[in-house]
Structure 1
Amino acid sequence: MMTITGPRTDTALADTNQHYDLDPEIFGLFLDPSRKYSCGLYRSETDTLADAQINKLRFVAERLGLRGGERLLDVGCGWGSLLLFMAREHACRATGISPAARQHAYISGRARELGVADQVSTWQGHFEEIDLPAGSFDAVTMLGSIVHMPDLTAVFARARALLRRGGTLYVSESCFRNAAAHGAFHRRAGTRFVGETIFGWGDMRPLSDLVRGAEDAGFSIVGLDDLTADYRRTIDDWLTNVRSATDDIERIRPGLTGELERYLEIANAGWGYTTKHYALTCRKTR
């Protein structure tokens, strides 16, 4: 297991990742056991949050067309759920990128516990700045991370450069329903609270912006899935867990429960009306 620090300073990292630098124990109180912090995939009415997150990881593997042993880069790797799953289930050599220092320490520990430390590595820093060899990955994934990256053109171009010919990019992201909704809601109090108070920076663009960014970079769009209902149910489960764990969360950081509740309530309020959640699969065909 290797963790390499990228070029940005600690101050710059904190400016855009304050939410992810919280005590890791907090996330263990309201996420599923793998600490996957993105949309799940509910196959039945009886699926639990844990079921949904395993379903989603299998879905990502299917969209990437994994057959075993691929070189995979997860941008915004969070607490390592995708890295660890792909290493264990598909023998991938999985590399993660995140600016949040605490996430790297957690992933390193879990990789050792699961016996995949030789297959999992992480870089601390920002995707746009980390120096990796061109064409060195079979697959790149971004689950809920491109929302925190200001320059879509640079992000898609970088992802394409890092993929081998025939490689696949998977992006799942929350989006405003269209350009008009983006303009109307982008600077409302609730949207600004989530972007500034919780994360530090974020912008939910319309899906058309993501598609244009991918196409302009030279990708072929090979798949689009609407996961809006699944993300709404995921957030409902997170919110239920936050409320159940109020005492423990407040013990770790007083006042955080209220912030988390407000964030999740705002995030869920517009699903299907002002916001959507999509999975976009792109291929480097030339």
Structure 2
Amino acid sequence: MTVTADTNQHYDLDPDIFGQFLDPLRKYSSALYTSDTDTLEQAQRTKLRFVADRLGLRGGERLLDVGCGWGSLILFMAEEFGCDTLGISPAPRQHEYIAEQAAARGVAERVHTRVGHFEQLDLPHRSVDAVTLLGSIVHMPDLGEVFRRARAVLRRGGTLYVSESCFRNASARTAFDSRGGTEFVREDIFGWGDLRPLSDLVTAAEDAGFSIIAVDDLTDHYRRTIDDWIANVYASADRIDAHGPGLAAKLRHYLEIANAGWGYTTKHYALTCRNAR
């Protein structure tokens, strides 16, 4: 199976649309809440520090973010940890936005991006200390190739962090992969996406030569994250619809589908792996 589009119609929408319902960092993946009073922005910053901790960042590392979205992770790691970062995404609008933000924050020399698909780009072997994939591996058809390439670019002792929504198990995938809600997300939102059970990710990581050093269940945090996004879509519906009639309702429908299955058909995990040899 091959990637069905050069870019992803959802992620190449006008950046302003995402600014209406995401946090100010425009981080489009699960946050991490530490109290009932955490705001979405606080929880997203906590999540980025959690990722840095899982990666063992101390400052100045070389970091590759695959599926970098609107740059929240690479901008944060460049600002907070002085990392030399590279983000990969097939969506041109995301790169334009990241370049503007990096310049505005004074970290342009530490924030770089490349347009394209990770599986197709030529990247130097053993060139980075850490690799991250936050909610991006779902769009990559060949798990084995992704994990092999991630290991190839990591130095010995480097760390890979993958967070992804997964079917709860293989039987749930069989039962729900062709349901209407799943098809709506795949065809009308993403263009291509394939949720797998966690066991598929673990097997692919181990087969590529990684050692698994941590698995974190972030399901409840993603449910709360999406609740916050849905509230923001309701509050900003008129501004979102200015980009296209009915866009806010379509976006709410997608987010509500995503939140309906947590713990029943779907889970959200963070998998941390070490390139130990």
Q: Where does the alignment leave 5 or more consecutive residues of structure 2 unmatched?
A: none
Corresponding position of 1:32: 23
Note the 1:265-276 alignment, pairs <5 A. Answer: 265-276=256-267
**SS of structure 1 residue aligned to 2:6:** helix
1: distance between equivalents of 2:275 and 2:30?
25
Picking from 65, 76, 83, the partner of 2:67 is: 76
Cα deviation for residue 254 of structure 1 reads 1.2
Matched residue type, 2:105: L
CA displacement 1:216-275 (0-9 Å, x = unmatched): 000000000000000000000000100111100111111111110110000000101110
Note the 1:1-286 alignment, pairs <5 A. Answer: 12-14=5-7, 17-286=8-277
1: distance between equivalents of 2:187 and 2:156?
38
Matched residue type, 1:13: D
**SS of structure 2 residue aligned to 1:154:** helix
Q: Where does the alignment leave 5 or more consecutive residues of structure 1 unmatched?
A: 1-10
TM-score in terms of structure 2 length: 0.98
Cα deviation for residue 12 of structure 1 reads 3.5
2: distance between equivalents of 1:195 and 1:143?
18
Where in structure 1 do 4 or more consecutive aligned residues deviate above 2 Å?
A: none
Cα deviation for residue 13 of structure 1 reads 1.5
CA displacement 1:155-186 (0-9 Å, x = unmatched): 00000000000000000000000000001000
Q: How many aligned positions are there? A: 276
1: distance between equivalents of 2:223 and 2:10?
20
TM-score in terms of structure 1 length: 0.95
- Report the identity percentage: 71
**SS of structure 1 residue aligned to 2:112:** strand
2: distance between equivalents of 1:159 and 1:107?
22
Matched residue type, 1:150: P
**SS of structure 1 residue aligned to 2:34:** coil
2: distance between equivalents of 1:253 and 1:65?
43
